[in-house]
Amino acid sequence: MWTADEIAHLCYEHYRISLTKKGKPEPNREWTLLAAVVKIQPTADQTYDSPDKPVQVTKEVVSMGTGTKCIGRSKMRKSGDILNDSHAEVIARRSFQRYLLHQLHLVAALKQDSIFVPGTQRGLWKLRPDLLFVFFSSHTPCGDASIIPMLAFEDQPCYPVSAEWASNISVEDSDKLEATKDKRKCEDLDSRVTKKMRLEPETPAGEVANGVAHHKSFGNQESGPVTPNVSSSTLDSEELAAITEMAPVGAKVVDVYRTGAKCVPGEAGDSGKPGAAYHQVGLLRVKPGRGDRTCSMSCSDKLARWNILGCQGALLMHFLEEPIYLSAVVIGKCPYSQEAMQRALIGRCQNVSALPKGFGVQEVKIQQSDLLFEQSRSAVQAKRADSPGRLVPCGAAISWSAVPEQPLDVTANGFPQGTTKKGITCLQTRSRISKVELFRSFQKLLSSISKDKWPDSLRTQKLETYQEYKEAASSYQEAWSALRKQAFGSWIRNPPDYHWFK
């Protein structure tokens, strides 16, 4: 039907062709991260239940995001007009919500074909049964999925690790909520390793032959690559023996790749021990910030949440009979562990039960592509060789949605790029994927539908604020409550007054 390399290639081509230079990294000096949602559907006169031959499908990018940064807690606003989290995965998902809103506008107006068809209940729609959505990220999600073993194989830094390793790396609980050492280490997937990596067809493989074979930083960190300089000899004999048993045959575990995401208050916390026992796996984490801590949960945590609650969010659930789930997640070329991905996205929540109708833990398909993103940190590092100056993450985030009006949205520090302090309060300085703008589009959709055709969740009470509309999505809130009680009890939630805007 499709391969991981086909998905990666499609997304890289879309990035090169459909996105303008605005918001992209400055050549030879900056790098960024990429994520996207791809719609998969069978070509005409085909269905997925054809047993005799492979189903021919069309693949279309419907949303895309780039970005590496978050704003700190002190910069958050109660007006809903700033993007708190501008990591690529989050930008791509919010862009996807914009696409879904547009598709609901189409089906409500009965004007054009839409991805939605009428549901069985009044005012509700559901996704066409022949459609699938695949999530692509050029890098491993920050947080739990990025805690993977570092092996003493310079030519194979991404050597497959066992399921036992991924599930048993945990160390004893620590009273510390975050380690004081290595505070500036963030997603340390940038150790210098000599490894030829396969690039996109248009990119010479030699460009990364002797470069950095990993990427770094999913947060606000701009420091250079910092490889944990710890050998296995720093572990005590019992720890070393236990870790050696979990490693692949013949492999020597010298450390783990570090995540800059910090454990949330209420979680056990990392040990901070040197070497492979540094991190504890399976914990909820927040993204790092420069000095000012963020309230943004890691991308691993958010993807795990979407795998149960869907990608549509609470607002759109008012119009949907079922959540919109991802069928697959594809990761680009980078340090990667299949078992760590499985644990972070599925395993932590696999026992969540008593969910409302339509909700459930999805067995999302997880794959890795062998294609490297040309503007990833590792690719840019390899190309620049001995160029002067420091390599830094691009400060801008790009949002693109498959919508007819103004599909592109470029932001920096949570606002449209170029916004001044004086202009922050203007309507023109809102990102099209900010909470308040998505809420405005939702309200526009609601006003285009006659009240007698509204879903029951919107007919029984008078709603005004963003918070009230979210809380009124009862099935979604019931599922979210069950997830928190059974798996994600320490999830950091913004105070309600940050959602009281109209």
pLDDT, averaged across the chain: 82
pLDDT of residue 163: 44
Please name which of 47, 118, 95, 24 lies closest in space to residue 320, comparing C-alpha atoms: 118
Whether residue 161 contacts residue 147, with contact meaning beta carbons closer than 8 Å, is answered with: no
Q: How confident is the model at residue 418 (pLDDT cuts 50, 70, 90)?
A: confident
Q: In which residue are the tokens 């606000």 written?
A: 220
Q: What is the mean pLDDT of residues 176-205?
A: 38
Q: How confident is the model at residue 427 (pLDDT cuts 50, 70, 90)?
A: low
> Phi/psi zone of residue 173: left (φ > 0), alpha (ψ -120 to 50 degrees), beta?
beta
Residue 228 has pLDDT above 80, yes or no: no
Residue 208 has pLDDT above 80, yes or no: no
Using DSSP's 3-state secondary structure scheme, residue 402 falls into coil
pLDDT of residue 284: 96
HEC secondary structure over 174-229: CCCCCCCCCCCCCCCCCCCCCCCCCECCCCCHHHHCCCCCCCCCCCCCCCCCCCCC
Q: How confident is the model at residue 189 (pLDDT cuts 50, 70, 90)?
A: very low
Tokens of 276: 């492979």
| Residues across the chain | 502
Q: How far apart are CA 404 and CA 399, in angstroms?
A: 14
Residue 235 has pLDDT above 50, yes or no: no
Terminal-to-terminal C-alpha distance of the chain: 44
* 89 is known as an active-site residue: yes
Work out the burial of residue 151: count CB atoms within 10 Å of its CB; fewer than 13 is exposed, 13-18 middle, 19 or more buried: buried
| Residue 408: strand pairing partners | 400
Q: How far apart are CA 297 and CA 484, in angstroms?
A: 14
Tokens of 401: 């949605």
Whether residue 246 contacts residue 167, with contact meaning beta carbons closer than 8 Å, is answered with: no
Residue 224 has pLDDT above 50, yes or no: no
Task: List the single range of 47-61, 122-136, 197-211, 255-269 with lowest mean pLDDT.
Answer: 197-211
pTM, two decimal places = 0.82
E-strand ranges in 348-412 read 365-368, 392-393, 396-401, 408-412
Whether residue 457 contacts residue 318, with contact meaning beta carbons closer than 8 Å, is answered with: yes
Of residues 6, 26, 89, 437, which has the active-site annotation? Answer: 89
pLDDT of residue 51: 58
Q: What is the mean pLDDT of residues 219-246?
A: 36
Whether residue 127 contacts residue 107, with contact meaning beta carbons closer than 8 Å, is answered with: no
Q: Which residues contact 210 (CB under 8 A, 6 or more apart)?
A: 194, 382
Q: In which residue are the tokens 């078992």 written?
A: 339
Residue 237 has pLDDT above 50, yes or no: no
Residue 47 has pLDDT above 60, yes or no: no
Residue 243 has pLDDT above 60, yes or no: no
357-380 pLDDT, tens digit per residue, is 999 999 999 999 999 999 999 999
Task: List the single range of 197-211, 303-317, 462-476 with lowest mean pLDDT.
Answer: 197-211
